[in-house]
Amino acid sequence: MSPCTGNKAQIAEQYHRLFKKVYALLYTLDQHYYNDNNTSLTVTTDIFETDQAMVLEFELPGLCIDDISITLQGSLLTLEADKKPPPAQKQQYFCIERRFGKIRQTVRLPDQIDSTLVYTEYKRGLLRVICPKGQKRSILIKEQ
């Protein structure tokens, strides 16, 4: 026997209710997984090099600059952010594809980067971290 019985409109309504329950369950499981296991969300990142610098671009749509932190320790640059869900409302969702939770990504920079000159730019959800290369210099060798 079919799980749905009745005319086409009733069958469509039964499937509609079933899918709403499935989406709600998947959303609940997804939120539990990301929030309770301290799993970091991934960030779309581009890294490229110019003659003067190494440039890292992180896509962070929907985040305020106050929600983003960058640290540089040695040659490790770490991006951390918290993408918070919007305030709870009484909507019925049919599909939720956005992800919320902690973001943490670490990138090892090449040795030629001058960490004292690193700076950032943030515009329309794109964070650019510009890491200027240090100047090569000759070291005088003294004979003793």
pLDDT tens, residue by residue, 82-106? 988 878 777 777 777 888 888 999 9
Query: Residue 75 and residue 111: Cα distance in Å, rounded?
Result: 7
Residue 83, φ and ψ in degrees, nearest 5: -95, 105
Question: In this structure, are 115 and 81 located in the same domain?
Answer: yes
In a domain, 139, yes or no: no
Judge if pTM exceeds 0.95: no
Beta-strand ranges (E) seen in the chain are: 45-49, 53-59, 68-73, 76-83, 101-108, 119-123, 126-132
In a domain, 143, yes or no: no
Question: In this structure, are 33 and 56 located in the same domain?
Answer: no
Residue of 27 and 10 predicted with greater confidence? 10
Boundaries of domain holding 32: 1-39
Question: In this structure, are 118 and 51 located in the same domain?
Answer: yes
Structure tokens at 87: 């305030």
Structure tokens at 126: 């794109």
In a domain, 144, yes or no: no
**Domain count for the chain:** 2
